[in-house]
Structure 1
Amino acid sequence: MVATLDKTERLTDILGKLGALGPTLRERALEAERAGRLSDETIADLAATGAFDIASPVEFGGAELSVRQQLDVIIEASKWDGSVGWVVWAGASTDWIPAGSGPRVLEEVYGSEWAGPRVAGSSHFPASRGRAQRVDGGWIISGGPWTFATASLWAPFTNLGCIAEDPDGTYLVAAQVPRDELVFLDDWHVAGMRGTGSISVKLQSDELFVPEYRGVDFRRITSGAIESGLAGSLWKAPALGWSFSLMAGMSIGIAQGALERFLERSAGRSIRGTSYKNQLEAPLTHLMLAEVHSKIQSAVLMMRANADETDRLGELAAAGTPADAEYLQLFSARVLMETAYAAKWCAEAIELLQRNSGATAIMDFEPIQRSWRDARVITLHGALNLEALSENYGRLMAGIQPHQFAGITTLDRFTPAPATRPTERRSSR
């Protein structure tokens, strides 16, 4: 009970500090868009709120909030600026990767003082251009560049997805690389989420030696095959439930912020082509607001339920009574699909607000147009292909196995990988 109270108090403190910082984050958003990244000042200010510690282990001074509590933080950060929410989410939603990589990686990532995201991740999909070759004592990694490396500009390590091929098969390796071994490319020129600085990275040289403990078969991470030494149930929670419940928090926060901004700017504003002098008094506005609320609230309720279930499953596993593999597969497929729906509904809600905001809402200083673009970018994330995710979940509902594929969102991950070398061939396609 004491730990729960401590975490509740820490959550309240973080949310309070984020709320106080929020107007400043919104003011800085246009500058961040033009720069293609958050400023170092913003990263420092966010670090001071504790936002980058929400998923860090308590053994290293982190808050280690529950997934449900982390969701509240992502929503609050995203409400003020979608790019801020994305960077905070990227930091929190990848903490399970070093935790699943073993104690030495954990010590490197969390053992020293750092003001900002602790770890970034890039290209944990089968389309990775990175390659890993096993050698004595570790790996030689090459290739790249590694794309969409959110938070790598500010993290001490970036975890790079690399494809390994040997006589036993093709599989994904997660390689933990220090920032001073990386080159950051100026290639983040996009329609939305411009302030995230989600640039590509490449190696300083053509090849890099990565010690054995820093290069881990990704299946061993996703299956929890490596003992972390961390005591909390968070580290036993299903990774997809954790990462993607939080991802939906970005869509929810952006939509909530857009709704607040609409109500603020619409008071006393007339509606062209009608006799209404105050937009907030018009029935057409009331109908629209009810639809916006319903879309956002549907996303909120789904993601709160998924976050709560993720926490419950972590507690069961920590107590030695994990859920069976069939249920974990079904739940993970559901979370992915429902996250895609939450992103869709929130983007649609913002489009309604945008369409009813008049021509001035297209100006770059107006937060609503940025919310509109940012929310649509989330729906285009490589892991949120709504139709594919819907088919996979529908297949499971019908008693048919989902499509098998390699990568971070694979659903056939519930049989632990071998302790050393892979014995099952995986396609890299």
Structure 2
Amino acid sequence: MTTQIAGEVLRPLNDRPDTESTMLVTDDRPTTLAAVLEKVREVGPTLRAAALEGERAGRHSDATIAALDATGAFNIASPAEFGGAELPVRDQLDVVTEVSSWDGSAGWTVWVGASTNWIPAGSGARVVEEVYGPAWVGPRVAGSSHFPATRGRAKRVDGGWIVSGGPWTFGSDALWAPYTNLGCMADDGDGPHLVGVQVPRDELRFLDDWQVAGMRATGSVSVTLAADELFVPAHRVVDFRDVVAGTLDNGLAGSLWKAPSLGWAFSLMAGMSIGIAQGALARFLERSAGRPIRGTTYKNQLEAPLTHLMLTEVHSKIRSATLMAQANAAETDRLGELAAAGPPASPEYLQHFSARVLAETAYAAKWCAEAIELLQRNSGSTAIMDFEHIQRAWRDARVVTLHGALNLEALSENYGRLMAGIQPHDFAGITTLNRSAASAARNAG
């Protein structure tokens, strides 16, 4: 199988000769938080050095994906039954933060690979087996266009579904994952609804349309089907209301699979913003030592009171975001453990928690982007050079704030409505707030 981008045929990392692939897929990936973080810190300077090349190519190199895989970062949220580390969300947060501090695009790729594991887990045991069973280098999971306005269409036929339409946009990790879950609209006579369709990578074609302001190396291209239509077996097409509610048996025992998916995904997303800001701060302190401030008599920027005031503001924004993300990740783990041990938290509490995590993640992204902008503005004209880490962090952090799920004003309104005793807006898709209601609607249908 080959991957085609802009007419150029590339050899994906996992399509090399068997002997070379076997060397890459190892059984000694770190499985504890401390071990994974140690490996990430070891490879961190390499990630940063490769960032500019990745930006210019519009995708990580195979070497970068293999290096991240060797740290265990792509394994932190894989099921223990298939050799995965299956770390708690709170531990996953630390990994995403650490990777992001070295390179925002690498952090995004790890975030997607970890935080979307709930999609195959919510799709049933056969999909879980297909995704996690084979040996693989790189992220296991990718998803694209899980919104009601998706251009994908699915029509039920004997033994499965016919999928058509597209393209499916923002396919983060699709270049490297064995399957991509595509959002499609289906109608079995009870009205249109969203389904998640698990499609193997050799049935997909990748478009060269990722020309963006930041997060360039994520290669979050649009995807289309290799043919006009694709037959997909029935078990790979799941009503997305069942996926978000986690109603299907996936054969997995850990409490992680009972954790609220929005708490999981968006706690980690905040960690991405936090890591990018931490990396920018470290770089600022490194490059500012002994640097004069033009228009003043200060010969060392780090000795100037104006720098001290700015650094405290930067610290406070990053610290505030960090404390919120850590609390949300820990609560996500607690709720998963509660659901695994017995009755879960009430639907009302889970709805409030989901709305709060989304809003707080949007604020974390905002505060971290503002912190980096302060650092950028106080770094002088050389900080605009493409080789300088701070300018890349500045652009990457702003891209996080523009993610389709992080509309700060909309999220603030929804959570504010709940605080005031009013129901939030009722909408379908990947960020549906009331997962229990989604499941009840599905069962009623």
Please tell me the TM-score bracket, short chain as reference: over 0.9
CA contact (8 A) 2:145 2:183 kept: yes
Equivalent-residue separation in structure 2 for 1:422 and 1:216 (angstroms)? 14
The equivalent position to 2:130 in structure 1, one of 100, 104, 108, is 108
CA contact (8 A) 1:168 1:422 kept: no
Equivalent-residue separation in structure 2 for 1:75 and 1:218 (angstroms)? 29
The equivalent position to 1:251 in structure 2, one of 247, 268, 273, is 273
CA RMSD of aligned residues (A): 1.4
The aligned length equals 417
User: Which residue pairs with 1:156 in the alignment?
Assistant: 178
Displacement over 4 Å in runs of 4+: 421-424
State the TM-score, normalized to the length of structure 2: 0.92
Q: Secondary structure at the match of 2:32?
A: helix
State the 1:9 CA deviation: 6.8
1:210-359 equivalent positions in 2, closer than 5 A: 210-359=232-381
User: Which residue pairs with 1:83 in the alignment?
Assistant: 105
Q: Secondary structure at the match of 2:70?
A: helix
User: Which residue pairs with 1:72 in the alignment?
Assistant: 94
CA contact (8 A) 1:295 1:349 kept: yes
The equivalent position to 1:193 in structure 2, one of 191, 215, 218, is 215
> Which residue identity does 1:303 align to in structure 2?
A
Equivalent-residue separation in structure 2 for 1:259 and 1:185 (angstroms)? 35
- Answering whether residue 231 of structure 2 is matched by residue 209 of structure 1, we say yes
Provide, for residues 209-250 of structure 1, a one-character-per-residue CA deviation record: whole Å limited to 9, x for no partner: 111100000010111110111110000000000000000111
> Which residue identity does 2:35 align to in structure 1?
D
Equivalent-residue separation in structure 1 for 2:194 and 2:438 (angstroms)? 14
> Which residue identity does 1:249 align to in structure 2?
G
Provide, for residues 291-339 of structure 1, a one-character-per-residue CA deviation record: whole Å limited to 9, x for no partner: 0000000000000000000000000000012000000000000000000
State the 1:416 CA deviation: 5.5
The equivalent position to 2:73 in structure 1, one of 46, 51, 57, is 51
Q: More displaced, 145-154 or 403-412? A: 403-412
CA contact (8 A) 2:350 2:434 kept: no
Unaligned runs of 5+ in 1: 1-6, 425-429
State the 1:151 CA deviation: 0.5
Residue identity over aligned pairs, in percent, reads: 76
State the 1:65 CA deviation: 0.2
State the 1:412 CA deviation: 2.7
- Answering whether residue 407 of structure 2 is matched by residue 385 of structure 1, we say yes
User: Which residue pairs with 2:21 in the alignment?
Assistant: none
Distance 1:91 1:354, change over 3 A: same
Equivalent-residue separation in structure 1 for 2:439 and 2:45 (angstroms)? 47
Unaligned runs of 5+ in 2: 1-28
- Answering whether residue 50 of structure 2 is matched by residue 10 of structure 1, we say no
Equivalent-residue separation in structure 2 for 1:393 and 1:82 (angstroms)? 28
Provide, for residues 254-286 of structure 1, a one-character-per-residue CA deviation record: whole Å limited to 9, x for no partner: 000000000000000000000000000000000
Equivalent-residue separation in structure 1 for 2:314 and 2:33 (angstroms)? 28
> Which residue identity does 1:67 align to in structure 2?
V
> Which residue identity does 1:30 align to in structure 2?
L
Provide, for residues 346-387 of structure 1, a one-character-per-residue CA deviation record: whole Å limited to 9, x for no partner: 000000000000000000000000000000000000000000
Provide, for residues 155-181 of structure 1, a one-character-per-residue CA deviation record: whole Å limited to 9, x for no partner: 110000001123201111000000000
State the 1:423 CA deviation: 4.9
CA contact (8 A) 2:31 2:72 kept: no
Equivalent-residue separation in structure 1 for 2:268 and 2:141 (angstroms)? 16
User: Which residue pairs with 2:417 in the alignment?
Assistant: 395
CA contact (8 A) 1:220 1:418 kept: no
State the 1:138 CA deviation: 1.4
